[in-house]
Structure 1
Amino acid sequence: MRLDRRAATPRFAAAHGFAAAPWLAAALAFSAAVPGASAGEPRFEAPAVVGFLESHCADCHNAALAEGGLDLTTPADGSNAATGLARWTLIHDRVRDGEMPPDGLSDEADRAPFLHALAESLTAADRDRVAATGRAQVRRLNRDEYENTLRELLDAPWLRVAEELPADGSTHLFSKSGEALDVSHVQMEKYLEVGRRALRTATDAAAHPPQTRRYYARQETGMRYIDRSPRRTTPVIGWEADLGVLTGETPKTAKGDREAQDREGLAVFHGPHPAFTRYDVESMDPPIDGRYRLRVKSYSLAAGKNGYANGGADPDKPAPKHQRWYLPNVFDLRRSERPEPITLYALRDSGDTRWLASFDAQPEPHVAEVEVTLRKGDNLRPDAARFPRLRPGWSGNPLAVDRDHIPGWVLQWVDVEGPITDEWPPESYTALFGDLPFEVENGEDENRRVRVLSENPDADAERLLTDFAARAFRGRGLPEGGVEPYLGIYGQARELGYDFTDATIAGFSAVLASPRFLYLEAEPGELDPPALAARLSYFLWNGPPDAELLARDDLQTAEVLQEQTDRLLNDPRSDRFVEHFLDHWLELRDLGNTVPDADLYPDYYLDGQLAESALFETRTFFKTLLDENRPARNLIDADFTFVNERLARHYGLDSSGLKHGGRSIELERVELPADSPRGGLLTQASVLKVTANGTTTSPVLRGVWVVERLLGREIPPPPSGIEAIEPDTRGAVTIREQLAKHTETASCAACHAKFDPVGFALESFDVMGGWRETYRALGDVGEEVEGYGMNGHAFEFRLAQPVESAGEWAGGGRFEDVEQLKSLLLTDERAIARNLVHQWVVYGAGEPVSFADRPAVEAILDAAEPSGYGLRDLLHALVQSDLFRQK
């Protein structure tokens, strides 16, 4: 039996003699999470609030029905003022925007008094909360901040420790809020373990003076030297095959003859595939973590091609095109007319790789030099990024079809110089032990260690610990008790038999595990200079303030704060801000979580260069907006972007004017043609990839992502029991047809109308952001497509249903394509800028914009309005505001 909705309402109860309103006042109460405090405990007893809720809301939002998960007849949990404020702020906004009550059940005259009274109560409650506890909770450093802080403190920019710590929680998109950054005993154990390792590594850098080692390609077992295979690597000298090696008459390398070795090379015509074929430098294994300089001697070349049919070798009987193999004819090598993009990865024994650098191998032998960070145990994986990664069963090389040659690349040797240091002893040693002498234990052993020498160990330990703690605590000074607690750890270690070096490192470790180091401290109210310096540096550098910033006792003055903000933005360390902010705001950290389907998207499958180029495009684009103070509208649409050869081809752009005739891995700025659908974040491959699953696209997922991330509008989660739409990869129906059935009910349709239209406009882009006019399918429907994927397999997909990108934007106006949608979104440029400010407030100050903060946000927008809400002006205005300068 269906419950009569009226039976749960106060009007119905009053009409039948029951008590009407007392429960309502109780339901409206919420309290701050401050024991004994009255702040944040307003009761919304204004007649305009109580009357409106009773007349327009309680019929649906009661204990019996609780539509939308909202019950206004039951008191909210009073243990957390922020939760209560968020709940009532959402109610305020939905009524303000006309979303509630439903159409026709209220008018402006009803809503205005309610909104005014509710806003007054929310503002008062919010200000009381901030006065009592500050805007943001005290929080610890997240693991990326911890790593960067260690790097600066130990003067060791090469340290990599973040991945050894437990993953951080996040809230409001970022790992920057105290409510998500708890501390457990597991984390404390890890802090001690990671801190000790970092300190020991920084010290032992003095045991490893720089040296240069050369690794010849032909001597590397990781090159998988094969002379007769479809995935062959070919010994060459210059542009000719080394026939003696191919026939087995001579050794594969003239080992011991340096002059002859320098002429040798190994040619490859395919990209590495971890499971099947690779060409790794496996004997590198740096002696210690540090900064290294890699010099790679290589060049591009080309080979004639042989056609093989079904494994046969009769060129007079070529196979049908879809069954044809193309192998390099190693007896027909020639100079190449183009460079080849090469990517270098650090390779672990586990098989995990980490991007290090990219360069262009030139048609003439050339030494490319890059500076990278390596860890002990790293090896090197070079990758000719443009080449296919041939898998078993392959039937064609996409770079050989319809050409008279197969491109190749020759690796001759790799020099590894390091660990590099700008002075001796290394900076990381002197950051800990100053000018104390040392000796090296274990002699030539790769595990050699530093033993610091001291004539007055206890006095030196106190001096070193005092200096270290003062720097570690970022201008806050030593805690009560001074350095004694850490000196006590040193003393206990000595009693246990530790030598001076390890005992002092134990004291350093205690400093690194102390709350004063791990937490960003601040008192409610205006931040003092050290706290403001820390907030600014952890915002723009994702790391600690430097000596210059900490020395500014006048940092609270507007002129100095602006000057220092610009200095931090202009420093290379601001790249950390760009990367970490975009990783979370746009979810770019998840870019590698999905892989394009090997059957539907073989042209993208295994194409790491495309995904990496897309990531660097977005980072470079956003940094340019900041550097040039470009207007916020460019987040949605812009007339420029950054591409290399691969991205230009992906976007259908003419790259002939780029470096090396557009045949380079280097990103360059390009002006977009007027008819290009690209421009802004919406149409960048990184965003389009991260909002797809590798197999299909969904207007729902993309629409929600854009509305929440770029427009700042909160979308509630779907009701429980509602199954997600699975697009039909057989090509029988389109996603639009499926969604039309999914949203037949009014409640579903009303919510989907907020985001589905945006998603439909983006249906013109596939899972990697490539432009499409039809969907791909694997069934019998549609037109066949000829070609070969990066894995060497012939295309099996077909072109099926046409893409429909038109829609009706909930904000008003119809569009036919993504360009028209951009125009509609940009009718309110202030909203785009407002959302960015909201994201920066969370990222920089650790707490989202609350109700009472809204006027301050509008003041920030007013200040930046003359520049079209230029990103740098927005950031300066935020830093100057109380939202940033107060806890």
Structure 2
Amino acid sequence: MISRSPLLVALVHSLIASCCFATVAAAAPNFDKDVQPYFRQHCLGCHGAEKQNGDFRIDTLSRKIGLEDTPQWAEIMERISSGEMPPEDVKNRPTADKSAAIVEWLAARIQEGEAARMAQRDRVSYHRLTREEYVNTVRDLLGVEYDATDPGGLLEDAEWNGFERVGSVMTLSATHIEKYINAAEIVLDEAYPDKPIEYLEATTQAAVVNENHPYFESLQQEGLLDKVRFELVTNGEQFRASSPYRNGLKFPGPGVYEISYVVSGLKPENGKAPRIQVFEEKLDRILFEQDIIAPEDAPITVTFQAHFPGTSTPQIRVMNTTGLPRHPRSTAHSRIPFINTSRPRAPWQVKITDQQGQPRSPVLIIDSITIRGPIITPLEQQRRDSYLPQEETIPAAREGLARLAKRAFRRPLVEGELEVYVQIVEQELAAGAPFREAVEAAMIAVLCSKSFLFIAEGDENADRSQLNDWEIASRLSYLLWSTMPDDELFAAAERGQLQDQGELQRQFTRMLNDPRSDRFKEGFSRQWLYLNKVGMFPPDKKLYPQYDDHLEQSMIGETQAFFAEVLEQRLTLREFLNSDWTMLNSRLARFYQVQGDFTDQFQRVALQPEDHRGGLLTQAAILSLTSDGARHRPVHRGVWLSEVILGKTPPPPPANVEPIEPNPVDSPKATLRMKLDAHKHDASCASCHKKIDPLGFAFDHYDAIGQWRTREQVEGTGEDPLVDASGELVDGRKFQNAEELKQLLTTDLDAFEATFIEKLAIYGLRRTMTFDDHQALAGIAKVGREKDYSVREILEAFVLSDLFQQR
């Protein structure tokens, strides 16, 4: 256990320097031509040189909108958007379309200014690691699995437009520093325990009948003592004996463990499969979930890995989350040991099978549990040993710290940089600390240094736009793997090869083919598409009783598996807009009412027109994240599509917009679309909503959780009204439903490609895009068009572009 000294804490705070960012000016459109005539005709008479109503003057405001006087311009935009200004009693009041055009112009300039401020770069740019990146990097550096999302772990990452990697919003506070110190101490305590932790494999039966049990003798005579099992019939019951660490067998200590269950799963015909859920009670963490389908006479083994921090024995529990509702009597366990379903149960217990021996409900049967660990690979142990000196001398400490710091900082050390950490060892020794604790104090400082916690790009002593080889290595590794470079990538940087296009392409291909690239497929798709918002507003259980955690996870899983399939199979951007296939598991197939033989794993499935699916836009994850848990939200769906697919952010709504009330129970039934049509009669709303609403109305056949329907179920009198999903785009093209809208969108792939590339660049470069980047982005788009919009080729073109290799 490392003792924290005040000296160490003070030094760590000084090692994490504040990071500043300079402004990149965006080229401003023509103020005099675009908006000045409007202000001169409608505003300056009351807010100009001669008259200043409310002490507010427009003509003296800076024309660098978004960069200067932003609060004042935002207020002007809000007043015009709400219809408050110009006042209704003025002569020659502008039309709603003219006012809307001014609002859009101001909103665009303010957004450009925000992007410019966020993309600003000094000589050195610092981008703090996300929680996920921190966990992955610590694992690759020291072989320790740090649980950053547990209570007491690292703070949640800041987000900008769905992205968690934008450096300018990843601020650093005193609380962050304290969390990083705590994390470093925990990580090093596990990597270098006070006493060696021995590997242990322990197995136990799920149910054990001892000599005092009334059925012991009968089972012994039948030779069935080792055949007793534990059945889980209900979803409210826990199997609490799910740990072999009892009866004197001690838990070895913190680390990663491999856990195996021998189980059977009995699935009713046309019903759900039993679903095993393993969780740790003290950590309040789900360790593993999976549907189980296996005959009781042919059980299967499911194996997974889990990390247990601390030294106390894990409290592992198992549930069958798809079982019957629990009843205090009929579903409780009796004293009769369970062997199989053919043996009699207590008369008062619910029957597991029908007269034909088929399961009446999902039944999970547990035979045994095995836990092995802690698991440490030879490479992980070798690295740990290389950092910690084998002899108690300052030169040995210096050598170990040099190896740790070079890998942790992801670059060679500069002259004199190591001395800061060697001095920590010397000062801790002078204060009376044991040698090993003194070295570990310096290791904490390394793990809390800005060079570890931040991805740094640039040179403090010179203006440099081109990344060096070490910076390219980190940028590529954190793009594709969300972690530090591996040994091969480090070696290429050491040889100065990564500025060679051929070598960079080879490394890109190698890394994309590595299983660690799944982190890119999951991370980019989640952030680009706002998948974190799925389940943000939990659906009303009365309205959507079929919605559960497994369905929610499957919704997100479909979208991420779909993205991965498009990338891996070298498919094009068209698939994201419209496809004749998707990725389904058994839970989502049942929800979509797609017939077939499915498991808990996602598989590619051909779709028929009657399935009403295809592409991203009709996937349940996308449709539910744009809803509020009770009803679909056409406006939200339209805004999502406009921002994520078309790359156009609508102006913010006026502050005084009244919410749409539920339909009164004593009024004729009306769809949400009928209520939203009121926007067309409000001049201040109509001009924006005519661009947004049609995009959302196209998906009105899908309810708040993405189920297909032909009628909208609403309160009121009369028959539920038919869904009207027709609409008209701003360019006059019309559609009747989502399918026709998707076909229209595929005819304008260039606009979607430009949006996709910009989102990819934000993710990969960890900053917003500005006007200065447009030419480079257009160059990547040109390559994409030449490659028929292949997503794999677009990603490669991005990595090989000058944009990727420059700050």
Normalised by the length of structure 1, the TM-score is 0.72
Which residue identity is paired with 2:475?
A: R
* More moved, 682-691 vs 588-597: 588-597
- Pair 393,59 (structure 1): closer, same or farther in 2 beyond 3 Å: farther
- Pair 745,782 (structure 1): closer, same or farther in 2 beyond 3 Å: closer
1:833 aligns with 2:753: yes
Unaligned runs of 5+ in 1: 1-32, 92-100, 107-113, 220-234, 236-241, 304-335, 437-451, 784-799
Q: Percent identical across equivalent pairs?
A: 28
State the match for 1:650 in structure 2: 591
State the match for 1:149 in structure 2: 137
- Displacement of 1:557: 1.6
State the match for 2:520 in structure 1: 577
Which residue identity is paired with 1:833?
A: E
State the match for 1:50 in structure 2: 32
Alpha-carbon distance between aligned partners in 2 of 1:865 and 1:41, rounded to the nearest angstrom = 27
1:187 aligns with 2:176: yes
- Three-state SS of the structure 2 residue aligned to 1:527 is coil
1:140 aligns with 2:122: no
Alpha-carbon distance between aligned partners in 1 of 2:128 and 2:489, rounded to the nearest angstrom = 21
Normalised by the length of structure 2, the TM-score is 0.78
- Pair 195,877 (structure 1): closer, same or farther in 2 beyond 3 Å: same
- Displacement of 1:51: 4.8
Q: Are 1:203 and 1:428, in contact at CA under 8 Å, matched by a contact in 2? A: no
- Three-state SS of the structure 1 residue aligned to 2:457 is coil
Q: CA-to-partner distance for each residue in 1:166-214, whole Å, 9 max, x for gaps?
A: 1222224312222201111111111111011112112239833322223
Alpha-carbon distance between aligned partners in 1 of 2:716 and 2:640, rounded to the nearest angstrom = 33
Q: Are 1:760 and 1:807, in contact at CA under 8 Å, matched by a contact in 2? A: yes
Q: Are 1:347 and 1:353, in contact at CA under 8 Å, matched by a contact in 2? A: yes
State the match for 2:383 in structure 1: 431
Alpha-carbon distance between aligned partners in 1 of 2:749 and 2:222, rounded to the nearest angstrom = 64
Q: CA-to-partner distance for each residue in 1:126-173, whole Å, 9 max, x for gaps?
A: 999999847x943222222222111111133x3322551112222243
- Displacement of 1:568: 1.6
State the match for 1:820 in structure 2: 740
Mapping for residues 673-752 of structure 1, pairs under 5 Å:
673-728=608-663, 732-752=669-689
State the match for 1:414 in structure 2: 369
How many aligned positions are there?
Answer: 718
Among 512, 518, 526, the residue aligned to 2:453: 518
Q: Are 1:489 and 1:506, in contact at CA under 8 Å, matched by a contact in 2? A: yes
Which residue identity is paired with 1:432?
A: R
Alpha-carbon distance between aligned partners in 1 of 2:139 and 2:702, rounded to the nearest angstrom = 41
Runs of 4+ in 1 over 6 A off after TM superposition: 41-44, 77-80, 101-106, 126-132, 251-255, 336-339, 391-395, 399-404
Bigger proportion of residues as strand = 1
Over the aligned positions, Cα root-mean-square deviation in angstroms equals: 4.5
Alpha-carbon distance between aligned partners in 1 of 2:43 and 2:218, rounded to the nearest angstrom = 80
State the match for 1:856 in structure 2: 776
Q: Are 1:177 and 1:846, in contact at CA under 8 Å, matched by a contact in 2? A: yes
Alpha-carbon distance between aligned partners in 1 of 2:712 and 2:294, rounded to the nearest angstrom = 37
- Pair 302,678 (structure 1): closer, same or farther in 2 beyond 3 Å: closer
Q: CA-to-partner distance for each residue in 1:31-58, whole Å, 9 max, x for gaps?
A: xx999x9x849898xxx75355433454
1:624 aligns with 2:579: no
State the match for 1:4 in structure 2: none
Which residue identity is paired with 1:472?
A: A
| Larger RCO, structure (CA 8 Å, separation 6 or more) | 2
- Displacement of 1:356: 5.4
Among 571, 576, 580, the residue aligned to 1:639: 580
Among 202, 213, 223, the residue aligned to 1:213: 202
Among 393, 398, 401, the residue aligned to 1:462: 398
- Pair 52,774 (structure 1): closer, same or farther in 2 beyond 3 Å: closer
1:562 aligns with 2:505: yes
Alpha-carbon distance between aligned partners in 1 of 2:216 and 2:45, rounded to the nearest angstrom = 84
1:161 aligns with 2:116: no
Q: Are 2:200 and 2:252, in contact at CA under 8 Å, matched by a contact in 1? A: no
- Displacement of 1:828: 0.7
- Displacement of 1:733: 2.7
Alpha-carbon distance between aligned partners in 1 of 2:703 and 2:117, rounded to the nearest angstrom = 49
Alpha-carbon distance between aligned partners in 1 of 2:674 and 2:701, rounded to the nearest angstrom = 16
Which residue identity is paired with 2:232?
A: V
Alpha-carbon distance between aligned partners in 1 of 2:321 and 2:329, rounded to the nearest angstrom = 21
Q: CA-to-partner distance for each residue in 1:83-140, whole Å, 9 max, x for gaps?
A: 98xx99xx9xxxxxxxxx979979xxxxxxx9xxx99xx99xx999999847x94322
- Displacement of 1:493: 2.7
State the match for 1:440 in structure 2: none
Alpha-carbon distance between aligned partners in 1 of 2:68 and 2:502, rounded to the nearest angstrom = 34
Among 345, 361, 364, the residue aligned to 2:278: 345
Alpha-carbon distance between aligned partners in 1 of 2:21 and 2:546, rounded to the nearest angstrom = 58
Q: Are 2:425 and 2:442, in contact at CA under 8 Å, matched by a contact in 1? A: yes
Alpha-carbon distance between aligned partners in 1 of 2:64 and 2:224, rounded to the nearest angstrom = 80
- Displacement of 1:490: 2.0
* More moved, 615-624 vs 170-179: 170-179
- Pair 357,542 (structure 1): closer, same or farther in 2 beyond 3 Å: farther
Among 448, 470, 485, the residue aligned to 2:420: 485
Which residue identity is paired with 1:618?
A: T
Q: Are 1:345 and 1:354, in contact at CA under 8 Å, matched by a contact in 2? A: yes
- Displacement of 1:488: 1.7
Mapping for residues 12-411 of structure 1, pairs under 5 Å:
40=25, 50-60=32-42, 73-76=59-62, 133=122, 137-156=125-144, 158-163=145-150, 164-204=153-193, 207-218=196-207, 249-250=214-215, 260-271=224-235, 273=236, 277-281=237-241, 283=243, 287-301=252-266, 340-349=273-282, 351-355=284-288, 359-376=292-309, 378-389=314-325, 406-407=360-361, 408-411=363-366
* More moved, 351-360 vs 564-573: 351-360
- Three-state SS of the structure 2 residue aligned to 1:763 is coil
Q: CA-to-partner distance for each residue in 1:382-410, whole Å, 9 max, x for gaps?
A: 44454355589999x9x999998513221
- Displacement of 1:875: 0.9
Which residue identity is paired with 1:361?
A: A
Alpha-carbon distance between aligned partners in 2 of 1:402 and 1:562, rounded to the nearest angstrom = 64
State the match for 1:803 in structure 2: 723
- Pair 128,718 (structure 1): closer, same or farther in 2 beyond 3 Å: closer
- Displacement of 1:492: 2.7
Q: CA-to-partner distance for each residue in 1:658-684, whole Å, 9 max, x for gaps?
A: 3xxx3x222221111243311111111
- Pair 139,300 (structure 1): closer, same or farther in 2 beyond 3 Å: closer
Mapping for residues 436-455 of structure 1, pairs under 5 Å:
454-455=390-391
State the match for 1:754 in structure 2: 691
Alpha-carbon distance between aligned partners in 2 of 1:252 and 1:729, rounded to the nearest angstrom = 68
Alpha-carbon distance between aligned partners in 2 of 1:394 and 1:728, rounded to the nearest angstrom = 43
Q: Are 1:591 and 1:689, in contact at CA under 8 Å, matched by a contact in 2? A: yes
Q: Are 2:425 and 2:438, in contact at CA under 8 Å, matched by a contact in 1? A: yes
Q: Are 1:841 and 1:849, in contact at CA under 8 Å, matched by a contact in 2? A: yes
Q: Are 1:61 and 1:73, in contact at CA under 8 Å, matched by a contact in 2? A: no
- Three-state SS of the structure 2 residue aligned to 1:551 is helix
- Displacement of 1:540: 1.2
Unaligned runs of 5+ in 2: 1-19, 49-55, 78-93, 100-104, 246-250, 332-349, 459-463
1:771 aligns with 2:708: yes
Which residue identity is paired with 1:825?
A: L
Alpha-carbon distance between aligned partners in 2 of 1:758 and 1:428, rounded to the nearest angstrom = 52
Q: CA-to-partner distance for each residue in 1:852-884, whole Å, 9 max, x for gaps?
A: 322222221111113321111111111222221
Which residue identity is paired with 2:382?
A: T
- Three-state SS of the structure 2 residue aligned to 1:361 is coil
Q: CA-to-partner distance for each residue in 1:623-670, whole Å, 9 max, x for gaps?
A: 111112211111111121111222112112121xx3xxx3x2222211
Alpha-carbon distance between aligned partners in 2 of 1:339 and 1:132, rounded to the nearest angstrom = 54
Which residue identity is paired with 1:557?
A: D
Q: Are 2:528 and 2:759, in contact at CA under 8 Å, matched by a contact in 1? A: yes
